[in-house]
Structure 1
């Protein structure tokens, strides 16, 4: 008597799906040494991990039968971090186990929990869900894990990053201890290893992708742009590649909404994915991408987790990710199943060092360069028009119409009309500033800056200019790092900036670091203002030290009214505190040398914005002793001075 082959239904499903051979991760989980063991698997995103764990848990689900009978309780549980990934896993397992008669139910947040409860009552063999919703069903008693034979944690590292550790521990404790546990992830950080020790028994570690070949089908590119050219560079990248589907990653929902509005105004076919959307809106957006009604998706990291879009050829990091693992997860949306893809990082001068750390941590090499210019986008458009598929075939039933068009309008006008129709609806390329990768000057000795050029800015202390505010603006304007800037001298009405001579050419005449503030090159080193406090040496003490008796001390500043002196005078070495009021409200006692309001530095009370002048308070150098008050016995005793009322 021949026993049925439980693998036959799965083999038939794979053949019907067009699988000629298995991927490395799928072969690894089916190796003899992996049979029946707990597995900790790390593999590249898009390498077929869903089908891999579906094949791995087949013995626990099918047993020795070719076709499953109705189940009283689920036999396998798959946990995913997001709704999209959970629904995608359910679809993959449905066709894989369709020939075997397995029923798959989903339990994900944002869906109707009543329908999910009815689906669980029908006796599914496999349950797929998100951690929060699965825990909810367990606590309500609608999900029974007493018969569970296998549990799978897909994208386990992402679930920990999203704060699902407590939910995962609750779910796994509700399952039998003799179950089989599989954990799959693109990376295996320390937190995953600790979770594996707690909930797996002698897990077999499988790593199918070498560090040197991480994301071998993805071409990494880093584009150096100025801060003002971030969005135009993204538009030119999309126009240059004309990808069938592209995804743009942003850090926050606000950035997603802003970029969505900007791209919509420019005629891009774009949709957005963020946490504020309902499940119906998210499903509609994804369906638009799959149908071709939209070609660009703007999303946050969490919203795009687990998205599998057909023909995704381009990934753009509008905002750099927080760590190298996120960079790999983002980029793994493209280059799947042997296809090629491009992962493009938009890098401003302020993010240059961060981008290098991310690439180094991810162990990938990126090609640095400039974003596609308007001329390069136009040249690419011209090449696409010349190679258009519609021009490759001869006219058939359109022969009469073609002859009429040529006879009436001539070949030149017909060709021009074809070009205009092709360009219609496409965003015009953007003009970008000429900014290459930030250049690091050669290391210099401490205390010396080397050859340099001086520039001036028409803003100083009177305009509340500060070096810490000007430094990043200058770096962004010229695409340089702070190492290329020497001294920044803020004067009363003007500021002087020292820039390395090798990089001074990046600041042409008339360049604006911010609207209205133009950087102007000087012919030589500027003459700085004399310091406000001068010293007349008569023979004894160096500046800053207490002069000897009889020596002439430093020149005193001119006398000014006290209301001005409190705000503008140099630090006073002695004297009692003065009561300071602002707009009529007391703010407590404080010495004028201790705290000065930031908006009053270098300004008089007349320059303050709608603020009342400081009221002068009469003070003395020494507090007088209280007068003695004799008591009834005639003894004199001091009376405590009354504290001023606040």
Structure 2
């Protein structure tokens, strides 16, 4: 970015990405990098009217980040000219190969000046990608990062042997034991993603799905919610989630073993990012042991058998246990003992939640009749980045309340206060213990 001239309105750099989601992420990063220098970055991707993007290109567009199809379309419509482009970047080139975009990539590169600098990034180097580099790069310097560095140093990797029919139950068991801050569950097919999401819902586990058959608006909504931390569990195909840079992902679960060792490296790379530690667990059926051996040879690691971690091992670093004495602004002690979140926390069985839902209308009618409210004290306040909407989301998602059930939310420095229906207060307090609230772990107490 330091070589881009803000005084020159021409397109000086082009970044090609395989997916819309990666395009948006790269655009956000480059805009942050170029803001102080006045470098304008324009994103080109499908699902947005061509006219809007053409207007952006007609103004200042120093760097263009785009998906392959939309970039080629804008070139053919004469909205995008690459005659002054000095830098071209191909991000996730092997993914472009998997999606069948290499012919389009070649067509775009032929329209860029021959004197440009080209950078190609790829987690793997298939023969087709190497031929692309040979055809369009002059004496390229290859920088290779060994696979063990990609997949081992920051990620603890495990295997769980399981029969095919028992995989859904095994996944629920893993989620309850591991209590991930955020997790991505990889499934091989789009149909499999939807099927697994339904099975998780039946087990009382909330999950969002991400795959190529979803509309762009739906995919964007899921990614915004997941990246912001509002959603903790994502069930996705490889194509939809590949290349996403979300530092909060603490766990990756390979529900379906990947088709190739290279895909395994991509999946595991979604966790253990930005200096964080991650955990990756692969479900292996008896027929898939050969694939597992190929993965272990490729990554240079032997996957250890998975077993439920000790309670201390499931805590995130720097996060206190969900028992604490009150701080400066707390009127009393928050909780004497924290219930086992594996039983009553984020992955609560559907039967209990179903019982609560079935009685919800009766409880709400009774509450309306007598109007009784209870004051709830929650650990988590301004110091933990908590806002009123976070308190409401915790009680709705974790406590089974409706939005209208929560009132008088007040966020203090270390704690938060709110009103809930009196006859549900004890159940809600138990249900939210151990869930995330801002940057801390919630604990709750019903005030007298």
TM over 0.5: yes
2:48 to 111, 123, 133: 111
1:97 to 34, 48, 58: 34
* Corresponding residue for residue 284 of structure 1: 221
Q: Does 1:210 align with 2:146?
A: yes
* Corresponding residue for residue 380 of structure 1: 311
RMSD (CA atoms): 2.7
CA shift, 1:352, in A, is: 1.2
| Distance 1:416-1:123 versus aligned 2 partners, 3 A rule | closer
CA shift, 1:251, in A, is: 0.8
- Report the 3-state secondary structure (helix = DSSP H, G, I; strand = E; otherwise coil) of the residue aligned with 2:113: coil
- Report the 3-state secondary structure (helix = DSSP H, G, I; strand = E; otherwise coil) of the residue aligned with 1:185: coil
Q: Does 1:316 align with 2:253?
A: yes
* Corresponding residue for residue 453 of structure 1: none
* Corresponding residue for residue 347 of structure 1: 284
Provide structure 1 residue ranges, at least 5 long, that are not aligned to the other structure: 1-53, 63-67, 406-413, 430-646
* Corresponding residue for residue 152 of structure 1: 89
Map residues 39-58 of structure 1 onto 2, 5 A cutoff: 54=1, 58=2
Larger radius of gyration: 1
CA shift, 1:428, in A, is: 4.4
The answer (yes or no) to whether the contact 2:260–2:291 under 8 Å persists in 1 is no
The answer (yes or no) to whether the contact 1:289–1:295 under 8 Å persists in 2 is yes
Superimposed CA distance per residue, residues 23-42 of structure 1 (whole angstroms, 9 cap, x where no aligned partner):
xxxxxxxxxxxxxxxxxxxx
| Distance 1:243-1:418 versus aligned 2 partners, 3 A rule | closer
| Distance 1:89-1:250 versus aligned 2 partners, 3 A rule | same
| Distance 1:261-1:255 versus aligned 2 partners, 3 A rule | same
How many Å separate the matches in 2 of 1:328 and 1:204? 23
- Report the 3-state secondary structure (helix = DSSP H, G, I; strand = E; otherwise coil) of the residue aligned with 1:206: coil
How many Å separate the matches in 1 of 2:33 and 2:345? 44
Map residues 214-613 of structure 1 onto 2, 5 A cutoff: 214-215=150-151, 216-367=153-304, 369-370=305-306, 372=308, 380=311, 389-394=321-326, 399=331, 423=344, 426-428=347-349
* Corresponding residue for residue 7 of structure 2: 69
The answer (yes or no) to whether the contact 1:267–1:425 under 8 Å persists in 2 is no
The answer (yes or no) to whether the contact 1:214–1:363 under 8 Å persists in 2 is no
| Distance 1:383-1:227 versus aligned 2 partners, 3 A rule | closer
| Distance 1:418-1:281 versus aligned 2 partners, 3 A rule | same
How many Å separate the matches in 2 of 1:242 and 1:347? 21
How many Å separate the matches in 2 of 1:235 and 1:197? 47
The answer (yes or no) to whether the contact 1:236–1:371 under 8 Å persists in 2 is no
How many Å separate the matches in 1 of 2:242 and 2:192? 18
The answer (yes or no) to whether the contact 1:224–1:371 under 8 Å persists in 2 is no
Q: How many aligned positions are there?
A: 347
Superimposed CA distance per residue, residues 32-79 of structure 1 (whole angstroms, 9 cap, x where no aligned partner):
xxxxxxxxxxxxxxxxxxxxxx5xxx33x24xxxxx1151x2000000
Superimposed CA distance per residue, residues 224-253 of structure 1 (whole angstroms, 9 cap, x where no aligned partner):
112222111111111111111100011111
How many Å separate the matches in 2 of 1:135 and 1:308? 25
| Distance 1:236-1:418 versus aligned 2 partners, 3 A rule | closer
2:74 to 120, 134, 137: 137
How many Å separate the matches in 1 of 2:92 and 2:184? 20
Provide structure 2 residue ranges, at least 5 long, that are not aligned to the other structure: 351-448
CA shift, 1:283, in A, is: 1.4
2:19 to 78, 82, 88: 82
| Distance 1:293-1:269 versus aligned 2 partners, 3 A rule | farther
Superimposed CA distance per residue, residues 400-427 of structure 1 (whole angstroms, 9 cap, x where no aligned partner):
x76xx9xxxxxxxx86896699815633
* Corresponding residue for residue 385 of structure 2: none
Superimposed CA distance per residue, residues 172-224 of structure 1 (whole angstroms, 9 cap, x where no aligned partner):
011111111111112222222111110001111122x3355342111111111
How many Å separate the matches in 2 of 1:272 and 1:422? 24
The answer (yes or no) to whether the contact 1:70–1:124 under 8 Å persists in 2 is no
How many Å separate the matches in 2 of 1:103 and 1:370? 48
- Report the 3-state secondary structure (helix = DSSP H, G, I; strand = E; otherwise coil) of the residue aligned with 1:302: helix
How many Å separate the matches in 2 of 1:181 and 1:287? 31
Identify, as 1 or 2, the structure richer in helix: 2
- Larger RCO: 1 or 2 (CA < 8 Å, sep 6+): 2
CA shift, 1:262, in A, is: 1.5
* Corresponding residue for residue 383 of structure 2: none
Superimposed CA distance per residue, residues 446-494 of structure 1 (whole angstroms, 9 cap, x where no aligned partner):
xxxxxxxxxxxxxxxxxxxxxxxxxxxxxxxxxxxxxxxxxxxxxxxxx
| TM-score normalised by structure 2 residue count | 0.72
The answer (yes or no) to whether the contact 2:197–2:209 under 8 Å persists in 1 is yes
How many Å separate the matches in 2 of 1:238 and 1:306? 24
